[in-house]
Amino acid sequence: MKDAVRLSLMSGALLLSPSLASAGLLDKLNEAAQKMNNAAQQNQQAQQNQQGGQGQYGGGGSLSAGLGATNLHGLDDLNGCMAQTSGAQEKLRAQVLQRKLNQSSNLSVQERQHIQADIEWLNATAAGQKLPPPDPKNSQRYLSELTDDEQMEISGAYSPFASAVHDKCEAQYGGMSQFGNGPRHAPIDTRVALPDLLHATPPAHQPTALEQHKNCMGSMTGLRWQIMAEMMQRRMQNTPNLSAQDQKAWQEDIAVVQAAAQSGATTMPQSPDPRNPMRYMMRLSTDDQIAMNQDYATRAQQLMASCSGGGTSASSPSNSSDLSSQLAQMHAARRANAHNAPAQAGAAATEAQAWLDAHPFNAPSSYATGSATEAHYLERGGVLACFDRAKGFRAKQIVDRLTAKRDSIAADQRQNLEAWIAAWRAAEQAGSEEPTPPNPNDAQGYLRLLTNADQQEMNQANSIVHNKVRDECNSMDHMGIGSKNSTFKPGS
């Protein structure tokens, strides 16, 4: 086109300049135009020869010129190789379900029918067939037929299989080497065998951390009945001159309570005497029941600490397998301590009184009129300060008992003991009911350093202090109503 433009310009120049319209000049112009046309034809022929001489992929030209619009067989090879993973997960699921059918003897007829239908559908889907699921309302019913462990087994088999397919296909057909004209590497076998889960050993169930924790906490069910049966047994042994009939009635009541403990019953046991449905409850005195509640609180705290990672890790399968025996040993030790080292009620009362003597009840400040808020009455009347007298008592109890164990503690526990003493001493100084644990994952670890008698005495003393402080503080005339000089009048 550029040549045509040049010619038209030249022609225009001839028309505009008559003096140039000579035969010699026209011949020169025609000769120049012919040379330009010949050059264009030679250039086009050279390009065509270059494309034809460099082979199918045009190594000397551009990639697009060599490939054209539809020459993508290299990508087809890569995609065909990667197609090995198509439907692989469905095949593996079908294998595991078939294995379940072959090996499980406790499946109902309906369950077997559902699994068989899902196997056929999974295999058909893996083969590329577009079929509706056996249960249109639950298109993934097969997942509910697979346990968590079986699904993890399938994922664990598919992932390395898919990785192997990808690596081989990429090595053989990946990159841009397939489009070039250079040397090609030796071909490799890109086939990867699908894992055989049909004949594999089913995976052993590994309880999750949540399951381990739930199983551990399940041991608390029936704990109260267990403690009650133990106390009833001791009460019967310490009751003199029981007749054969009375002893038989005692043993019947203890048996039903023990049965409730072993079964983890959450409802009241059924009395052996239908005419007296609460007879077993009447075997324990009020003091016995108070002690039972305190013992339950102590054991429950230790059990929760153990399940939450204190002492034995609830998330460790190796430890969780021995958890039942460990709990049984703990309860046996508790029973032994109950016989050999009973809590001393006198010691608890002495400890509580010593604390109250060291924190005397101070007379409240005089009531100042002019305030209409209850908070002001409580603060100026001394009620808040009165209740504060109980703060820090529990921490001091624990510090005293842990300190007393310094000489008898095992060497490997001394560092842990000192850490807990420091933590509880800081809580005592701050008037706090709970310390900052040395190990956040073992918030109740100090309980393992205390005996059953220690914790019973602490519970009794703590109860005495709180009850006395509560009674004194609740009886205060913090609003000055009973004072002769009070100017307060109800309703003002």
Q: Which string of b and e fits 455-489 if b means at least 16 CB within 10 Å?
A: bbbbbbbbebbbebbeeebeeeebbbeeeeeeeee
Confidence class for position 141, pLDDT limits 50, 70, 90: very high
CB 459, CB 297: distance < 8 Å: yes
Integer Cα distance of 295 and 268 in angstroms: 19
What is the average per-residue pLDDT within 354-374?
60
Confidence class for position 334, pLDDT limits 50, 70, 90: low
Token digits for 452? 């059953």
What is the model's pTM? 0.37
Which one is predicted more confidently, 258 or 9? 258
Window from 143-152, 223-232, 423-432, 461-470 with minimum mean pLDDT: 461-470
Sequence-separated contacts (24+) of 453-457 with Cβ below 8 Å: 453/337, 453/341, 453/342, 453/343, 453/344, 454/401, 455/294, 455/298, 456/291, 456/294, 456/295, 456/298, 456/342, 456/343, 457/343, 457/344, 457/347, 457/348, 457/351
Provide the pLDDT for residue 477.
56
Q: What is the pLDDT of residues 19-41, one digit of tens each?
A: 444 456 556 656 766 666 666 56
Which one is predicted more confidently, 382 or 58? 382
Integer Cα distance of 226 and 369 in angstroms: 57
Provide the pLDDT for residue 333.
52
pLDDT > 70? residue 475? no
Provide the pLDDT for residue 329.
54
Among the ranges 223-232, 350-359, 375-384, which has the highest mean pLDDT value? 223-232
DSSP state of 459: H
The amino acid present at 70, given as its one-letter code, is: T
What is the average per-residue pLDDT within 356-367?
64
What is the average per-residue pLDDT within 414-435?
85
Identify which of 312, 298, 386 has the alpha carbon closest to the alpha carbon of residue 343. Answer: 298
pLDDT > 80? residue 326? no
Which one is predicted more confidently, 407 or 382? 407
Q: What percent of the chain has pLDDT over 90?
A: 13
Q: What is the DSSP string of 77-129?
A: HHHHHHGGGTTHHHHHHHHHHHHHHHH-SS--HHHHHHHHHHHHHHHHHHTT-
Q: What is the pLDDT of residues 71-109, one digit of tens each?
A: 455 577 888 888 999 999 999 999 999 999 999 888 899
Question: Degrees (nearest 5) of the Cα angle 251, 253, 255?
Answer: 70
Window from 10-14, 47-51, 272-276, 443-447 with minimum mean pLDDT: 10-14
Question: Degrees (nearest 5) of the Cα angle 134, 135, 139?
Answer: 95
Inter-axis angle of helices 393-403 and 414-430, to 10 degrees?
A: 160
Among the ranges 99-103, 299-303, 443-447, which has the highest mean pLDDT value? 99-103
Integer Cα distance of 81 and 5 in angstroms: 56
Q: For the chain, what is the mean pLDDT? A: 73
The amino acid present at 470, given as its one-letter code, is: R
Window from 47-61, 84-98, 384-398 with minimum mean pLDDT: 47-61
Confidence class for position 415, pLDDT limits 50, 70, 90: confident
Integer Cα distance of 212 and 222 in angstroms: 18
